[in-house]
Amino acid sequence: MRSETLTPQRAGAAAAAFSVVAALAAVLGFLLIQGWPALSAGLGELPSHAENMWQLAGPLVFGSVLVAAIAMLFALPVALGTALYLVFYAPKRVATVLGGALDLLAAVPSVVYGLWGIMVLAPALAGPYAWLNENLGWIPFFAGEASATGRTALTAALVLAVMVLPLTASVIRSALALVPEASIEGAYALGATRWETIKLAALPFARRSIVAGSMLGLGRALGETMAVAMVLSPTPFLIGIKLLTSENPNTVAAYLAQTFPESHGIETSALIALGLALFAITCAVNSLARWITREKTK
């Protein structure tokens, strides 16, 4: 090992690395400074005529969690199936095409997903929603009056599911690729079928990464803004689980994008405070995901 003397080059590189710490501290600091006044906001000063921050934030956080959770409900099985198919079943050429398709899905900008969601997916789903509502309306999620436009919480969740799928699939896929060859061969040698091999050797090995991939997907879905802002037709302060109606809870991120451009003074502060809450939630979810994978590598 060469002796480490403090050269200007080394100091410069260290400063660049420190800028990461500084940048995150600045994010936290500036959001706190600018969001603080909202906590003591008086009546009539908050956006959407909210009485206080809790009344404003509560339903939005609920909406974010609801929509993101439903998105993961759809995304996780498909991501898991795709990753397993890619690693254990697909011929090489098919795997290349499929990998490219996942990359493409990941690369599409969220505003384009929004445009597609509102102009193509939502109208296409209005019919199926009416059917679900008529036949399965006794399930609380499908109750109420089905939206004629399809701009519902379920549509938003479906768009989000497509958007976070590549991330979750790639985390699971890289974990599956690391399953020791010996475990797989061993299972085959015992006469296990392909599925039994996956069940016995691969899934237990990749379990943590499957959980971590879902958490990362959830984090991404919680923070996703434009697609939800465009697709969802929100109702202020609503907390509800009816997914097919035209009255939907809004999400934090979408509310920020919709309200910020026309906000002033203390309203802006309130929105920044909401952003801080969103930052805290996504950070917690992502850190948990990283922690789960870190534990494994130790």
Residue nearer to other proteins on the CB measure, 179 or 229: 229
Q: Which of residues 189-248 bind other proteins (CB under 8 A)?
A: 193-196, 216, 219-220, 222-226, 229-230
- Cα 71 to Cα 159: distance, rounded to the nearest angstrom: 8
Please provide residue 240's backbone torsions phi and psi, each rounded to the nearest 5 degrees. Answer: -160, 160
| 120 scored as a contact of other proteins (CB under 8 A) | yes
Residue nearer to other proteins on the CB measure, 79 or 154: 79
Q: Which of residues 82-111 bind other proteins (CB under 8 A)?
A: 82, 84-86, 88-90, 98, 101-105, 107-111
Residues 60 and 274: beta-carbon distance below 8 Å:
yes
Residue nearer to other proteins on the CB measure, 143 or 211: 211
Residue nearer to other proteins on the CB measure, 240 or 249: 249
Residue nearer to other proteins on the CB measure, 242 or 271: 271
- Cα 186 to Cα 198: distance, rounded to the nearest angstrom: 12
Given candidates 52, 130, 279, 296, which one binds other proteins under the rule CB under 8 A? 279
Q: Which of residues 167-186 bind other proteins (CB under 8 A)?
A: none
Q: Which DSSP category does 248 fall into?
A: B
**DSSP track, 151-196:** -SHHHHHHHHHHHHHHHHHHHHHHHHTTS-HHHHHHHHHTT--HHH
Residue nearer to other proteins on the CB measure, 104 or 241: 104
Given candidates 47, 114, 144, 249, which one binds other proteins under the rule CB under 8 A? 114
Stretch binding other proteins (CB under 8 A), from 53-61, 81-89, 148-156, 203-211: 81-89
Report the nearest approach of other proteins to the CB of residue 109 (Å): 2
- Cα 163 to Cα 220: distance, rounded to the nearest angstrom: 9
Residue with tokens 């959001």: 31
127 to 156: interface string for other proteins, x by CB under 8 A = ------------------------------
| 257 scored as a contact of other proteins (CB under 8 A) | yes
- Can you say whether residue 127 is alpha, beta or left, with left for phi > 0 and alpha for psi between -120 and 50 degrees? alpha
Residue 190 sits at the vertex; the CA angle it makes with 189 and 192, to the nearest 5 degrees, is 95
